[in-house]
Structure 1
Amino acid sequence: MSENQQLSTNNYQPKLKVCGLTKLNQIQELISMKIDYLGFIFYEKSPRYVLNHLNLNQISEINHQGKVGVFVNENLEKIVEISEKAKLNFIQLHGDENDDYILELRQKLNPEIGIIKVIRVGSQKSEVRREIGKVFDHAQTDNQKPTTINYLLFDTDSKAFGGTGKTFDWNILNEIEIPIPYFLSGGISLDNIHQLSIIKHQPIALDINSKFEIEPGNKDLEKIKRFVNLLNSPKGTT
């Protein structure tokens, strides 16, 4: 698919999250582009570890309502402390956090801060179902919707906890029950976005990262602009 083709999904237009941000000038440019979610990685082993580039006060001063802090199996008190000091709007849990962990985090966290739980997707849909069940155990009674998690995020499984630049088989999403709105991540690019139309239950947002970088943490803003224009193009135009 060429860059001047567009997404054909009956006027469906997902929100957009740009993750792995490290540069204030790029962040301001993304804000001017009206990007919906800004992702900051607080995982020390990541090449996009934000605290190697920005401090919590600098992040707190970024005027945006969609600041997402990404954590991997982190200490609960540390998440709460960072969320307050950086004035985060969402916490994204990208590790092996289970239902009990998430419930305790919800109790400690400012109630205005949303929680996004990542489900890492391999090749087995049964494994994906099991992972979804693990984080919703407390919500299975009385068929009530879970209240601790605001969104799921499906990403390609990786020992490095994301950032692979690889996609998983999106058809898996058609074969599982997705109980709440979700973000789609994992190797999304200008070349494969047209394939989004195969998904019956569409994501509320797309999460882009490594396919839109010059190097880890240094975003290719022109490529992101082309992606935004592609998403915003009216159906049937070129």
Structure 2
Amino acid sequence: MNLQPQLKVCGLTKTDQIQELISMNVDFLGFIFYEKSPRYVLNHLSLEDLAAIDHHGKVGVFVNEEIDKILNIVQQADLNFVQLHGDESDDFIIELREKLDPEVGIIKVIRVGNNDDDNKDKIAQTLSSNLQSVTYYLFDTDSKAFGGTGKQFDWNILNGFQIPIPYFLSGGISEENIGNIKTLKQQPFALDINSKFETEPGNKNINRIKEFKILYQQNR
């Protein structure tokens, strides 16, 4: 049975848009807690605002953050998932898993660069570690800005690996390339969209997201 991938919209900053996405039954809502990001959520919403959002898939995105700060934000914002988008070590992830509420999942991002041996070795090493600590992987295009590039990496790289747990596919997903997801031997658990569906950083084009959601339902 070919199940339809779930949908995550990341880089949210506006309450009205968040409520529209909830009414559309979007599965995951992504909030960025990286201060250098133009979509840094605490420039727009408070932790109390985030806690008041009634949704089961609230994801906090962190980049090389301290564990105690992550734990504090997760609790105050009532998050359901922690997404680690930086260079967090295996030991860091294990310690975070031990200290997190067991019901809070961990999404570990694997940033994919060029289709070369060094990059493939890095992916293989990450996939072979921390399976008990990580709930999902997320593959995104590598960048110095830690995501939000709107650029697609070579998805064919993923066909060279057995991915041991469900994964999110991110990095430049749009209407133009949605059909190419069928070429992946192991289908993504969820699609993660962000900058391709904005009028400016943090301001989503809700109508375009609605159209995309219909399109990917048709392409499953």
TM-score, structure 1 length as denominator? 0.88
Among residues 72, 75, 85, which one is paired with 2:63 in the alignment? 72
Structure 2 counterpart of 1:212 = 197
Counterpart Cα distance in 1 of 2:8 and 2:209:
11
Is the alpha carbon distance of 1:132 and 1:59 closer, same or farther for their aligned partners in structure 2, counting shifts above 3 Å?
Answer: farther
Structure 2 counterpart of 1:225 = 210
Cα offset for 1:134?
4.1
Counterpart Cα distance in 2 of 1:128 and 1:113:
29
Amino acid at match of 2:24: M
1:154 aligns with 2:145: no
What 5-or-longer segments of structure 2 have no aligned partner? none
Cα offset for 1:123?
1.3
Indicate the percent of aligned positions where both proteins have the same amino acid: 63
Match runs of 1:80-159 below 5 Å: 80-124=71-115, 126=117, 127-134=119-126, 136-137=128-129, 146-159=131-144
Cα offset for 1:135?
6.7
Is the alpha carbon distance of 1:125 and 1:181 closer, same or farther for their aligned partners in structure 2, counting shifts above 3 Å?
Answer: farther
Cα offset for 1:117?
0.2
Structure 1 counterpart of 2:149 = 164
CA RMSD of the aligned region, Å?
A: 1.5
Q: Tell me, what secondary structure is at the counterpart of 1:39?
A: strand
Cα offset for 1:93?
0.2
What 5-or-longer segments of structure 1 have no aligned partner? 1-9, 140-145
Is the alpha carbon distance of 1:231 and 1:134 closer, same or farther for their aligned partners in structure 2, counting shifts above 3 Å?
Answer: closer
Contact kept, 8 Å, 1:11 with 1:234, in 2: the verdict is: no
Is the alpha carbon distance of 1:148 and 1:167 closer, same or farther for their aligned partners in structure 2, counting shifts above 3 Å?
Answer: same
Cα offset for 1:176?
1.7
Among residues 165, 187, 192, which one is paired with 2:172 in the alignment? 187
Cα offset for 1:26?
0.2
Contact kept, 8 Å, 1:183 with 1:207, in 2: the verdict is: yes
Among residues 29, 37, 43, which one is paired with 1:46 in the alignment? 37
Cα offset for 1:12?
3.6
Q: Deviations over 1:66-90 (max 9, x none)?
A: 0000000000000000000000000
Contact kept, 8 Å, 1:114 with 1:149, in 2: the verdict is: yes
Q: Tell me, what secondary structure is at the counterpart of 2:93?
A: helix
Q: Tell me, what secondary structure is at the counterpart of 1:51?
A: helix
Count of residues in Structure 1 that have an aligned counterpart in Structure 2: 219
Structure 2 counterpart of 1:201 = 186
Counterpart Cα distance in 2 of 1:174 and 1:132:
12
Q: Deviations over 1:154-180 (max 9, x none)?
A: 000001000000000000000122111
Counterpart Cα distance in 1 of 2:66 and 2:72:
10
After the TM superposition, which parts of structure 1 deviate over 3 Å for at least 4 consecutive aligned residues?
A: 134-137
Amino acid at match of 1:49: Y
Cα offset for 1:130?
2.2
Cα offset for 1:132?
4.6
